């Protein structure tokens, strides 16, 4: 029997009949995506509330009885960990990756639907274990999201008993979930693309998610082993990361371990993690910009290569998080150089986004507003990264508010702008309804301007030297009184931004309950996911026949064509050209 590619095989989908089969123990990638998305947004809201609590303490020190140094560190730690792992990674890959991959490459589902389902349930379990630490004796860990030993597992740090153990367990479970999902994404992209969907015809969204998943599959194991090793150190008394120590007056049994080893393992995961979040965001924003500017993405091949190169380089820059860690100082030369090299492909992406808008026909829809906002915030965050990557500049700025401002601009605000652009953009596909534009615009302006009000001044406090992770700044001779009033203003801005997110939540609920049906493909997108027989797509996505792809995903405003977009699944002979019109760029 000759080999039949997965993409050409007849579907063997088992269509569940019961409610539970359809929506709870579902193997449909779209349902799983929504499960991932809702869970991620739920924990994200908890992390948002934690950030408000933390800001209350910084803005108004000593005013709130329920925030002591322990709980402050717990808020900081849980906010960071939830946002990076349980919200951003889960929503971008588990949520959008799951939803979009099969639809955009033209397959009926993930290659391993059962594994996909398990992935979500393990993710949910990891979230439950994580949240359980809030109710454990001593509360969640307050070791900072980087969980550096020895401090993470010693007295003097909140949550040292069960908090840290639950955190490490939760991470380990999350990584299991990620691996099950990740293997699915990679295999599906490589093996299950529909006829005609060559790699260089894939939308950049898929390139971003695909590359990020590969990064994750290589990077998360480093976190897994470090979590397991730290569990051994704290539960079994091993000394992987623990040298001989006198902890709070008590000599410990540990001997011979290396705290810096943990940092290498953590950042070998941690830096690619930045791109695990950024690359899907890069991809999705490229598609949103292209659709709403009615113009092909500028320099598609360069964009693909930039994603791949950034992904590759992201594995050789990790120690730029460790310039002042006490590692061999000669590493500084290497890691500063690789880090600044990564700026080149990243800058190219920014140029190409702006050049996509250039000579376009820009529809200022809500997704487009978020996309333009993203270009601004990402440019700002990317440029401040050039300071921190340059090893000598990192010396004064490391562990100050500058770092906080930088990574929130580049890794907080920017991916969040993309996520909102993506939610507003794909909501009509997912739900059949379009989110309310007026509320969307209010949400955009509040979020965009509010976050800039938080983080622009924070960079300058960092230049001054205001340290991060301080429960209270106290009076230090180099900090003028204005630092404290600025901190107060930043807190107010943070609360306002948090309140604007309620507009979004209300918008989603209102739209789902009362919003009018959206038209099919309201934005006029050319990529495959908008061209399913049913909207929202039914189980199996494509009805009787898989689509065939004839062109790239960016045939917008093709000269001579009557409509301003040509769907990927439209063959050249079916394109409605004006008399004398010419053919598209690539067929």
- Residues between 252 and 271 with contacts to other proteins, criterion CB under 8 A: 255-260
Q: Does 156 bind other proteins (CB under 8 A)?
A: yes
Closest to other proteins by CB, 373 or 515: 373
Binding flag, residue 137, other proteins (CB under 8 A): no
| Least separation in angstroms between CB 545 and other proteins | 30
Side-chain-side CA neighbours of residue 246 (13 Å): 1
CB-nearer residue toward other proteins: 312 or 467: 467
* Binder of other proteins out of 467, 522, 524, 581 (CB under 8 A): 467
Q: Smallest distance, Å, CB 481 to other proteins? A: 10
* DSSP E strand stretches across 86-191: none
Asked if residue 168 lies in contact with residue 262, where contact means CB atoms within 8 angstroms, the answer is no
Torsion of CA 518, 524, 528, 532, to 10 degrees: 30
The residues in 544-583 that bind other proteins, with binding defined as CB under 8 A, are: 554, 556-559, 564
Residue 121 or 577 with smaller CB distance to other proteins = 577
Q: Tell me if 256 sits within 8 A of 243, measured CB to CB.
A: yes
Q: 3-state DSSP call for residue 571? A: coil
- Segment 301-330, which members bind other proteins (CB under 8 A)? 301-302, 324-326, 329-330
Which CB sits closer to other proteins, 187 or 258? 258
Of 16, 22, 52, 70, the one binding other proteins (CB under 8 A) is: 70
289-292 long-range contacts, Cβ below 8 Å, gap at least 24?
Answer: 289/353, 289/356, 289/357, 289/368, 289/371, 290/356, 290/554, 290/556, 291/425, 291/523, 291/524, 291/525, 291/526, 291/527, 291/556, 292/362, 292/363, 292/365, 292/367, 292/368, 292/371, 292/425, 292/523
Instruction: Give 436 or 551: the residue with its C-beta nearer to other proteins.
Output: 551
Q: Is 53 in the site for other proteins (CB under 8 A)?
A: no
Of 63-71, 311-319, 538-546, 566-574: span binding other proteins (CB under 8 A): 63-71
Binding mask 226-255 for other proteins (x = CB under 8 A): -----------------xxxxxxx-x---x
**Whose Cβ is closer to other proteins: residue 21's or residue 524's?**
524
Instruction: Work out which of 121, 232, 470, 577 binds other proteins, going by CB under 8 A.
Output: 470
What are 23-29's contacts with CB under 8 Å, separation 24+?
25/117, 26/117, 27/109, 27/113, 27/114, 27/116, 27/117, 28/109, 28/113, 28/539, 29/98, 29/99, 29/101, 29/102, 29/109, 29/110, 29/113, 29/116
Q: Is the separation of the CB atoms in 155 and 270 below 8 Å?
A: no
Name 577's bridge partners.
561
Nearest to 82 by CA among 116, 41, 121: 41
How far apart, in Å, are the Cα atoms of 103 and each of 29, 100, 236, 422? Answer: 10, 5, 47, 15
Report DSSP state, residue 466.
Answer: P
Closest distance of CB 85 from other proteins, Å: 19
**Nearer of residues 142 and 272 to other proteins, judged by Cβ:** 142
When asked if residue 363 is in the footprint of other proteins (CB under 8 A), the reply is: yes
Please identify, using beta-carbon distances, which residue of 4 and 392 lies nearer to other proteins. 392
Under the binding rule (CB under 8 A), the answer on residue 350 touching other proteins is yes
Rounded (5°) CA angle 565-553-548: 100
Stretch that binds other proteins, among 27-35, 222-230, 339-347, 525-533 (CB under 8 A): 339-347
- Structure tokens given for 526: 């050319």
**Tokens found for residue 13:** 């989908």
Q: What's the start-to-end Cα distance of the chain, in Å?
A: 33
Q: Does position 332 bind other proteins by CB under 8 A?
A: yes
State which of positions 475-534 bind other proteins (CB under 8 A): 476-478, 480, 482-483, 486
CB of 528 to other proteins, least distance (A): 19
Stretch that binds other proteins, among 1-9, 272-280, 459-467, 570-578 (CB under 8 A): 459-467
Give the SS3 label for residue 433: strand
Does residue number 95 form part of the binding site for other proteins (CB under 8 A)? Answer: no
Residue for token digits 């049913």?
Answer: 534
The least distance separating other proteins from the CB of residue 155, rounded to whole angstroms, comes to: 7
Binder of other proteins out of 39, 98, 157, 194 (CB under 8 A): 157
Minimum CB–partner distance for residue 171 and other proteins (Å): 18
Q: How far is C-alpha 375 from the chain's CA centre?
A: 16
Strand partners, 556: 565
Taking CB under 8 A as the rule, does residue 211 contact other proteins?
no
- Of residues 125 and 245, the one with the C-beta less far from other proteins: 245
Verify binding: residue 449, other proteins, rule CB under 8 A. yes
354 makes contact with other proteins (CB under 8 A): yes
Per-residue binding string, other proteins, 374-393, x by CB under 8 A, is -xx--xx--xx-xx--xxxx
For residue 444, the SS3 value is helix
Question: Is residue 49 near other proteins by the rule CB under 8 A?
Answer: no
Of residues 41, 130, 215, 372, which one binds other proteins by CB under 8 A?
372
Q: At its nearest, how many Å lie between other proteins and the CB of residue 229? A: 16
Which of these ranges, 129-137, 155-163, 189-197, 411-419, lies near other proteins under the rule CB under 8 A? 155-163
- C-beta of residue 350 within 8 angstroms of C-beta of residue 378: yes
Site for other proteins (CB under 8 A): which residue of 316, 343, 442, 538?
343
Q: List, in sequence order, the alpha helices (H) in 82-161.
A: 98-105, 113-132
Long-range pairs, 333-339, Cβ under 8 A, ≥24: 333/391, 335/391, 336/389, 336/390, 336/391, 338/313, 339/389, 339/390
Residue that the structure tokens 């150089």 belong to: 337
The CA–CA distances, whole Å, from 413 to 348, 366, 379 equal: 20, 16, 12
Residue 438 in contact with other proteins, rule: CB under 8 A: no
Does the protein bind other proteins through residue 457 (CB under 8 A)?
yes
When binding is defined by CB under 8 A, the residue of 362, 430, 439, 442 that contacts other proteins is 362
Q: Number of residues in contact with other proteins, rule: CB under 8 A? A: 121
Polymer length in residues for the chain: 587
């Amino acid at each position: 029997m000759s080999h039949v590619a997965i993409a050409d095989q007849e579907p063997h989908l088992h269509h569940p009949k019961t409610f539970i089969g359809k929506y709870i123990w579902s193997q449909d990638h779209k349902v799983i995506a929504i499960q991932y998305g809702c869970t991620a947004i739920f924990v994200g809201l908890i992390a948002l509330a934690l950030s408000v609590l933390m800001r209350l303490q910084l803005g108004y020190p000593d005013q709130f009885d329920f925030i002591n140094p322990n709980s402050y560190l717990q808020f900081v730690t849980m906010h960071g960990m939830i946002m990076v792992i349980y919200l951003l990674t889960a929503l971008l890959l588990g949520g959008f990756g799951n939803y979009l991959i099969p639809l955009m490459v033209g397959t009926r589902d993930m290659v391993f639907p059962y594994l996909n389902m398990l992935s979500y349930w393990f993710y949910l379990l990891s979230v439950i274990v994580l949240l359980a630490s809030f109710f454990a004796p001593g509360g969640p860990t307050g070791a900072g999201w980087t969980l550096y030993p020895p401090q993470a597992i010693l007295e003097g740090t909140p949550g040292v008993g069960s908090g840290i153990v639950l955190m490490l367990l939760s991470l380990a479970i999350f990584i299991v979930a990620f691996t099950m999902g990740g293997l699915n994404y990679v295999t599906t992209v490589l093996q299950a693309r529909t006829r005609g969907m060559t790699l260089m015809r894939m939308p950049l969204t898929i390139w971003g998610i695909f590359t990020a998943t590969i990064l994750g599959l290589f990077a998360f194991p480093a976190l897994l082993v470090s979590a397991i090793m730290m569990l051994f150190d704290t539960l079994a008394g091993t000394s992987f990361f623990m040298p001989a120590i006198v902890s709070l007056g008590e000599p410990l049994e540990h001997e011979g371990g290396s705290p810096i080893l943990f940092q290498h393992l953590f950042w070998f995961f941690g830096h690619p993690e930045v791109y695990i979040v950024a690359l899907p965001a890069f991809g999705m924003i490229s598609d949103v910009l292209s659709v709403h500017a009615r113009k092909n993405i500028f320099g598609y091949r360069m964009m693909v290569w930039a994603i791949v190169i950034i992904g590759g380089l992201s594995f050789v820059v990790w120690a730029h998080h460790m310039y002042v860690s006490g590692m061999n100082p000669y590493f500084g030369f290497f890691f500063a150089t690789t880090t600044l090299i990564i700026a080149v492909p990243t800058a190219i992406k920014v140029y190409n986004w702006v050049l996509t808008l250039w000579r376009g026909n820009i529809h200022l829809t809500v997704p487009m507003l978020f996309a333009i906002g993203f270009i601004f915030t990402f440019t700002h965050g990317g440029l401040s990264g050039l300071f921190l990557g340059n090893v000598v500049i990192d010396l004064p700025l490391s562990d100050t508010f500058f770092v906080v401002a930088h990574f929130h601009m580049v890794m907080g605000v920017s991916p969040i702008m993309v996520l909102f652009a993506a939610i507003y953009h794909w909501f009509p596909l997912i739900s059949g309804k379009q989110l309310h534009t007026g509320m969307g615009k209010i949400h955009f302006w509040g979020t965009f301007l509010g976050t800039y009000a938080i983080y622009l001044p924070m960079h300058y406090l960092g230049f001054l030297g205001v340290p991060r992770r301080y429960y209270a700044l106290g009076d230090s001779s180099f900090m003028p009184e204005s630092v404290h009033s600025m901190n107060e203003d930043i807190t107010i801005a943070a609360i306002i931004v948090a309140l604007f997110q309620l507009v979004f939540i209300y918008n989603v609920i209102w739209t789902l309950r009362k919003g009018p049906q959206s038209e099919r493909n309201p934005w006029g997108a050319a990529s495959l996911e908008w061209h399913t027989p049913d909207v929202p797509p039914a189980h199996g996505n494509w009805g009787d026949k898989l689509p065939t792809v004839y062109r790239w995903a960016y045939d917008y405003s093709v000269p001579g064509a009557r409509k301003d977009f040509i769907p990927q699944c439209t063959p050249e002979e079916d394109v409605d050209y004006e008399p004398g019109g010419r053919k598209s760029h690539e067929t």
